[in-house]
């Protein structure tokens, strides 16, 4: 063993001994096969090595680990459920790193039904939080396909969005306070859950969406909402994407802004889903228009009242409006879910899309947002431009909030490796710039979008981000190589 290798081994052994003393042997993993599941990201694109995976079960343990890492210049990579799509939760090459897995910190600390708030630890799985709320007739409305695996710490750190943003906002808007361990090991306790607290810079908002680069979130206070008394879920075939915006606004106006989800699902996306999951049934046998999965929900008891024909007040209101929209030609066809099973089937179809695209073959995933009035322009122009280059995009999106998941996939009989992907990306980013869009809507930056971040983020904003990062984390131990491009 060379002198350098010997020094490296000593540092690694010392660090592991130290962590073992904090979390116990069972929660310190360092054998390659034990760490494997923590070192490759969900997409399979990013993989690296680590000194160890450490699994603390308290804020004090997290603080001790971070303090040691800061003193010894060891990178800390916080990890929740590992469902992030940008390679943010795994180490980068060339840095001595530990993966800090938060999944054992999953306790419910406080439930306040009167204030409709809940305090939970960062490692709680999103679906567990949803079920806790439901037990009290409340909902936690953050909703997307990875809910059974992702953690609330990951949701906060990526400021996750999903299907219900149109009504409830993204994770940032659902959070009233956090507890976090800062890069020097100090603990910030801002768990009061106040809805008003104008006492200076909002440190919570700085850590939300920071992807673990400014500290480790250990707990949070979230808002909850009354469980809807009635929901109407439908699949619509709408005349065009521009018509879809009109349909959304008419539905909002007609129902008192009760639209919970408004999801874009064009025919081609449904074809891909059905080819990958043959048991999933098409909601409309032969729809040529623009597919929209819409959900309207009301917590008013009167909206759940059953009418003589067996429908409900809310169902009747939605049906009346849809009939009007059909007469004007904005809506071409509609399927209304008649049971909880039909509703679940529609959502299963929507939430299968990412796995379906992954199973379908290679693709480059754009997660972008646009002003609602420009979405149709983007899709129209980009579909044409990318088709000329040999791509057949697979598009879905949380259309209600202007977010598109636009996957550049090869057209039939085209070979992925021979396609001009860089030119297609450039065309998309150029178009986004012209239409005032964003190159990252809800998945974040991680490692995969660092180059785009360097290229497209306004330099003055990047400078502020770098100044904050350097001030709080002068040794650059918190999740280095993610989110903030290094100079």
Residues at the interface with ligand FAD (CB under 6 A): 42, 77-85, 88-89, 102, 122, 144-146, 150-151, 153-155, 157-158, 160-162, 211-212, 216-217, 354, 442-443, 446, 479, 482
Question: Where are the extended beta strands (E) located within 45-200?
Answer: 52-54, 75-79, 97-101, 108-112, 117-121, 138-139, 175-181, 187-190
457: which 2 tokens?
């983020």
Query: What is the sign, positive or negative, of the torsion defined by CA atoms of 148, 28, 204, 118?
Result: positive
Helix/strand/coil for 62: helix
In the complex with ligand FAD, the residue whose CB is nearer, 302 or 344, is 344
- What does DSSP assign to residue 314? H
In whole angstroms, give the CA distance from residue 59 to residue 153. Answer: 13
Residue nearest to ligand FAD as judged by C-beta position: 154
In the complex with ligand FAD, the residue whose CB is nearer, 55 or 443, is 443
CB of 354 to ligand FAD, least distance (A): 4
CB of 316 to ligand FAD, least distance (A): 31
In whole angstroms, give the CA distance from residue 98 to residue 15. Answer: 9
In the complex with ligand FAD, the residue whose CB is nearer, 113 or 361, is 361
In the complex with ligand FAD, the residue whose CB is nearer, 78 or 228, is 78
In the complex with ligand FAD, the residue whose CB is nearer, 230 or 479, is 479
CB of 9 to ligand FAD, least distance (A): 27
CB of 136 to ligand FAD, least distance (A): 24
Residues 6+ apart with CB under 8 A from 384: none
C-alpha dihedral over 191, 193, 199, 200, to 10 degrees? 70
In the complex with ligand FAD, the residue whose CB is nearer, 84 or 228, is 84
> What phi and psi values does residue 96 have, to the nearest 5 degrees?
-70, 120
CB of 198 to ligand FAD, least distance (A): 25
Q: Do residues 321 and 251 touch, judged by C-beta distance below 8 A?
A: yes
- What does DSSP assign to residue 25? G
In the complex with ligand FAD, the residue whose CB is nearer, 162 or 193, is 162
CB of 416 to ligand FAD, least distance (A): 21
The greatest distance separating any two alpha carbons of the chain, rounded to the nearest whole angstrom, comes to 85
CB of 110 to ligand FAD, least distance (A): 18
CB of 396 to ligand FAD, least distance (A): 10
In the complex with ligand FAD, the residue whose CB is nearer, 77 or 318, is 77
CB of 13 to ligand FAD, least distance (A): 25
In the complex with ligand FAD, the residue whose CB is nearer, 153 or 289, is 153
In whole angstroms, give the CA distance from residue 406 to residue 381. Answer: 13
248: which 2 tokens?
């959304």
Strands 290-298 and 394-398: unpaired
In whole angstroms, give the CA distance from residue 290 to residue 239. Answer: 6
C-alpha radius of gyration, the chain, whole number: 24
CB of 49 to ligand FAD, least distance (A): 16
Q: Look at residues 32, 183, 138, 159 and name the one whose alpha carbon lies nearest to residue 84.
A: 159
Distances (CA, A) of 85 to 42, 64, 182, 280, 329: 6, 29, 24, 25, 38
> What phi and psi values does residue 381 have, to the nearest 5 degrees?
-70, -40
CB of 67 to ligand FAD, least distance (A): 16
Strand partners, 189: 179
Strands 138-139 and 225-226: antiparallel
In the complex with ligand FAD, the residue whose CB is nearer, 210 or 247, is 210
In whole angstroms, give the CA distance from residue 231 to residue 258. Answer: 10
CB of 481 to ligand FAD, least distance (A): 11
In the complex with ligand FAD, the residue whose CB is nearer, 122 or 232, is 122
In whole angstroms, give the CA distance from residue 197 to residue 193. Answer: 9
In the complex with ligand FAD, the residue whose CB is nearer, 160 or 232, is 160
Q: Look at residues 209, 137, 211 and name the one whose alpha carbon lies nearest to residue 174.
A: 209
In whole angstroms, give the CA distance from residue 125 to residue 121. Answer: 10
């Amino acid at each position: 063993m060379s002198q350098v290798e010997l020094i490296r081994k000593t540092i690694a052994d010392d660090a592991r001994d130290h962590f073992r003393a904090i979390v116990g042997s069972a929660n310190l993993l360092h054998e390659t096969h034990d760490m494997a599941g923590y070192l490759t990201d969900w997409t399979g694109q990013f993989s690296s090595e680590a000194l160890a995976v450490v699994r603390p079960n308290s804020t004090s343990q997290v603080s001790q680990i971070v303090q040691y890492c800061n003193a010894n210049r060891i990178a800390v990579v916080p990890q929740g459920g590992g469902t992030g799509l940008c390679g943010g939760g795994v180490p980068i090459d060339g840095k001595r790193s530990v993966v800090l897995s938060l999944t054992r910190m999953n306790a419910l600390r406080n439930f306040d039904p009167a204030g409709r708030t809940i305090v939970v630890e960062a490692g709680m799985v999103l679906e567990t939080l949803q079920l806790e709320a439901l037990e009290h007739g409340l909902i936690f409305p953050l909703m997307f396909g990875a809910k059974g695996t992702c953690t609330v710490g990951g949701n906060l750190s990526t400021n996750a969005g999903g299907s219900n943003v149109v009504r409830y906002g993204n994770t940032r808007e659902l959070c009233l306070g956090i507890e976090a361990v800062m890069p020097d090991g100090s603990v910030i306790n801002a768990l009061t859950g106040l809805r008003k607290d104008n006492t200076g810079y909002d440190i919570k908002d700085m850590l939300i969406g920071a992807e673990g680069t400014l500290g480790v979130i250990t707990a949070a206070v979230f808002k909850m909402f009354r469980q809807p008394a009635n929901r109407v879920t439908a699949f619509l075939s709408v005349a065009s994407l521009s018509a879809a915006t009109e349909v959304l606004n008419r539905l909002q106006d007609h129902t008192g802004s009760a639209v919970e989800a408004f999801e874009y699902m064009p025919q081609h996306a449904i074809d891909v889903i059905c080819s990958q999951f043959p048991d999933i049934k098409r909601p409309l046998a032969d729809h040529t228009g623009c597919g929209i999965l819409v959900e309207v929900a009301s917590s008013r008891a009167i909206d759940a009242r059953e009418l003589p024909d067996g429908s409900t007040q809310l169902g009747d209101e939605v049906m009346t409006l849809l009939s009007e929209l059909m007469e004007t030609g904005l809506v071409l066809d509609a399927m209304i879910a008649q049971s909880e099973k039909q509703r679940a089937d529609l959502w299963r179809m929507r939430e299968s899309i990412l796995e379906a695209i992954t199973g379908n073959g290679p693709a480059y995933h754009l997660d972008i947002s646009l002003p609602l009035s420009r979405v149709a322009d983007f899709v129209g122009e980009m579909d044409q431009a990318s088709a000329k280059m040999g791509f057949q995009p697979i598009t879905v999106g949380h259309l209600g909030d202007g977010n598109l998941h636009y996957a550049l996939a090869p057209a039939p009989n085209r070979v992925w490796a021979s396609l001009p992907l860089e030119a297609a990306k450039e065309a998309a980013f150029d178009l986004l710039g012209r239409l005032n869009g964003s190159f990252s809507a809800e998945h974040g930056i991680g490692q995969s979008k660092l180059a785009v971040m360097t290229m497209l983020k306004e330099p003055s904003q990047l400078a502020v981000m770098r100044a904050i990062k350097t001030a709080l984390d002068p040794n650059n131990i918190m999740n280095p190589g993610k989110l903030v491009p290094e100079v």
